[in-house]
Every structure is written in structure tokens, then in C-alpha cells.
Amino acid sequence: MQRKISLLEHLNDGILEAGCDEAGRGPLAGPVFAAAVILPEGFFHPLLNDSKKMTAKARDILRPIIEKEAVAYAVEAVSAREIDTINILNASIAGMWRAVMRLSVRPEFLLVDGNRFRPYTGISGMEEGLNPDSRAGERPWTDRNIVLEYSRIPYQCIVKGDGKYAPVAAASVLAKTYRDEYMRRLALEYPQYGWERNMGYPTREHIEAIREYGFTPHHRMSFHVKELEPTLF
């Protein structure tokens, strides 16, 4: 396999770094998903890049490879209800911290995609553990001692980090593929909204369906869309 120009493996030498990213900040419906990934030293795959620049087929190829090869990975989801309560930025940050706290190996440093992040401040009051596969014992963010411990992990925000660092790119792939899979399952319950195609984003198809059928419990009521203002007000 010919080696292309690769993503950077890490920011700091000699410490265990986890890459963090989210998927689904912009949709009108569905959760925001977040992932944290610790990759082994020397990990390389020519397809790995910012998930938004990859084809769905490439993401689907990479997901099981990342899951198999990663030192540790975790994926979490924050529901539309919680997004409406704490806003999408706070929900994205909370989701990434929750994924970090579910890693089987505690990282020493976090590489975070974007330019907005902060220590996790604790319980929002809506800590449902929204990963559909998670159970009560897998919600470490409800333990204040664990929250305090993990909030001390240093981090670095990196603009477009998913196109620069392999662990962040891997996290972006997992967050995107898990969210797309979730929205396809949700579309079976609400076929009229076309979520298997638009993934909850404000496409014309989705907006017209809201006009005709109204909102579901999975819609983010705090998101105002100009085309829907006559419906909302």
C-alpha cells in the first residue's frame, strides 16, 4: 500500500493523547454524537481524513478498522431535549467529555477539534446516558469525583484538527458513522421526514415534512429556521 502524506500522529511526545470530535451540530433533528479515540503508535490508513471530506463508503470501511486497532475508543450522544436545555455548544462539549470519561484507558492529553472547549463542569440535570447501547453503570459523568478527576486533563483546541491529527480524524469518523446509523434507525419510526437521506439537516425535504406533519420529540425546538418561522410563530 503506497503511503500518502499522512496526518500527524500526536501533538506531544511521550504522553497518551485522545482525539475528540463531534458530529451533528447543525441538524434540526436527532442527537449530537461525540467520540474520543486513542490510537496506537504508528497507526496509518490512507483513507483517514476529516470525515466530512470522505465518502460514506470510506467512512464505513474505516470504522471497524479504527474500532479494532484503537487503544481505546468511546462514542456518546446528547439528545435533542438536552441540546434544547443547555444549547448545542454546551451539548457538544459535554458529549466529548462523556466519551472521554468512557474510554477504557485514561488519556493524559486531549486533542479537540475546533476552537471552543472547556473543562466539564458536572451534572446538567439531564444525564440520561443517551448512547442507545449504554447502561446506568456506564455513565461515569454522573459521578462528581470522576468529573473532577477528568476535568483536570489538559487539552488543546485545534481548528480543523480532524484534517491534521489522526486521533481527531478517527474520532470524527466514529462520531459521523454512529450518528448516521442512529438517524437511519430513527427514520424507520418517522419515515415521512427522510432522515435516512438528510440525517436531520434542514433540507427542503425535511422542512416541507415539518410543515406537513409537525415536529417530533427528536426535533431541536431551540433551533429556529427562517423557512419555518410562519409555522413556529
Do the annotations mark residue 143 as ligand-binding?
A: no
In whole angstroms, what is the distance from residue 75 CA to residue 232 CA? 33
List CB contacts of 222: < 8 A, sequence separation 6 or more.
Answer: 83, 84, 87, 88
Phi and psi torsions of 44, nearest 5°: -150, 140
Do the annotations mark residue 22 as ligand-binding?
A: yes
Do the annotations mark residue 21 as ligand-binding?
A: yes
Which position has the grid cell 511526545?
13
**What is the pairing mode between strands 17-23 and 109-113?**
parallel
Q: How many helices (H) and strands (E) does the chain have?
A: 8, 5
211 sits in which H/E element: helix 204-213
Question: Residue 35: helix, strand or coil by DSSP?
Answer: strand
Q: Which residues are annotated as a binding site for a divalent metal cation?
A: 21-22, 113
Q: Which residues are annotated as a binding site?
A: 21-22, 113
